[in-house]
Amino acid sequence: MKKLYICFLFIPALVFGQGFAPVGTSVAQFLEVGMGARPAGMGAAYTTLPQDAGAVFWNPAGLVDIKNRSFSTSYNQWPAEISFVGASFAMNIDRIGTIAISTQQLMTDDMEITTIDQPNGTGQMFTISNYVVGLSYARFLTDRFSIGLTGKMVHEKYWEHGYTTWGLDLGTIYRTGFHGLRLGMSILHFGPEVTFDGEFIDYSDSRSFDADKPKSFESYSMPINFRFGISFDVVNNEQNRIITAMDMIHPNNNLEQYNVGLEYGFKNMFFLRGGFQLQADEGGLCFGTGVQLPLMGETGFVLDYAYSDMGVLEQIHRFSFAFSF
């Protein structure tokens, strides 16, 4: 088994190269859906780049770049008529740091209940209730090094079975001052193992099905993700800026993934983006665009759009809006 040792900012992480993907071994999969059109347009190579309230979903250490207040919201149209929305608000408090609140919610239409005896439906419907609420704090430890932490409550429920638990996100960003070079790390969705409440009939087990003997649910881990990222400016002048970024992601429920992204900005107002996700389950090619306009003083807004090719799952469209004031 190949071992790769990474030492970054006094935080060691051990990454194992694997040939087997442990898919289906964690809960709360909706937490792994990328939030925001800008990061999506760059192939999710975004660990070092968040600079508005949306940083809470990628690396809370990026919150320190907010000057006053920032509001961000995003909408994803996911396959199977699933919608995923998120919103966050952050405020920079002098000499204290930056605090933020955030929420994400997965939404679907009502679905019909089917059984072995009634495979076409019983006429009854059930709903899905998946959401997360978070509180974040970030600050500079030096003039170049920032750290951020998010504590969150995670809720997931399907029909009569669900759970509520807690999770933590931790992130750091180091700004070298050399051609915009940044190094970043984040650990997302760290939390305890959880078990869905209630019992169920296992139709694949005759001892449970024939005897009408229900089983209890097993325990599963949260979808913990370790991310390491690097980004730098290829070009940076008054007219043009080109940023390139790369992330390495080590999840506990899949193989390592490598994301690369590129963003071109004209006068810091109009943006074109592209990216690719290596070892993605489906697709991997992403494109995006955005506009950033100042309104008055330090007030401004950003509107972004991203397109992602998901292979057999077709295309994904994301929209996000950020407002600073």
Instruction: Please give the full DSSP string across 173-213, using - where no structure is assigned.
Output: EEE-SSTT-EEEEEEEEE---EE-SSEE--TT-HHHHTTT-
Evaluate whether 324 touches 52 at the Cβ level (below 8 Å): yes
Q: What is the Cα–Cα distance from 138 to 126, expressed in whole angstroms?
A: 39
Number of other CB atoms surrounding residue 109 within 10 Å: 11
**What pLDDT was estimated at residue 223?**
94
**What pLDDT was estimated at residue 1?**
37
pLDDT band (50, 70, 90) for residue 19:
low
Residue 8 has pLDDT above 60, yes or no: no
Residue 18 has pLDDT above 90, yes or no: no
Residue 22 has pLDDT above 80, yes or no: no
Model confidence pLDDT, tens digit, residues 94-139: 989 999 999 999 988 888 888 777 888 888 888 788 999 999 999 9
Tell me if residue 141 falls in helix, strand or coil. Answer: coil
Q: What is the Cα–Cα distance from 217 to 152, expressed in whole angstroms?
A: 24
| Distant-in-sequence, close-in-space partners of 7: CB < 8 Å, separation ≥ 6 | none
Residue 183 has pLDDT above 70, yes or no: yes
Model confidence pLDDT, tens digit, residues 73-106: 999 888 777 889 999 999 999 989 999 999 999 9
Residue 295 has pLDDT above 70, yes or no: yes
> Hey, what domains does the chain have and what are their CATH numbers?
47-191+223-324 (2.40.160.60)
pLDDT band (50, 70, 90) for residue 7:
very low
Identify the bridge partners of residue 70 per DSSP, sorted by sequence position: 90, 324
Cα 32 to its chain centre, rounded Å, is: 5
pLDDT band (50, 70, 90) for residue 168:
very high
Evaluate whether 129 touches 117 at the Cβ level (below 8 Å): no
Residue 17 has pLDDT above 70, yes or no: no
Residue 16 has pLDDT above 80, yes or no: no
**What pLDDT was estimated at residue 5?**
34
pTM: 0.86
One-letter amino acid at 134 equals G
What's the mean pLDDT in 253-261?
91
Q: What H or E segment, with its residue span, contains residue 6?
A: strand 3-8
Q: Is the dihedral of CA 30, 43, 227, 174 positive or negative?
A: negative
Structure tokens at 178: 């050399």
Q: What is the Cα–Cα distance from 179 to 101, expressed in whole angstroms?
A: 32
Q: In which region does residue 17 sit, left (phi positive, over 0), alpha (psi from -120 to 50) or beta (all else)? A: beta
**What pLDDT was estimated at residue 130?**
93
Q: What is the Cα–Cα distance from 189 to 27, expressed in whole angstroms?
A: 11
**What pLDDT was estimated at residue 296?**
79
Please give the C-alpha separations between residue 174 and each of 6, 142, 146, 270, 291, in angstroms, as whole numbers.
16, 9, 7, 26, 27
Model confidence pLDDT, tens digit, residues 187-228: 999 999 999 998 877 777 777 776 678 888 889 999 999 999
pLDDT band (50, 70, 90) for residue 2:
very low
| Distant-in-sequence, close-in-space partners of 19: CB < 8 Å, separation ≥ 6 | none
**What pLDDT was estimated at residue 10?**
35
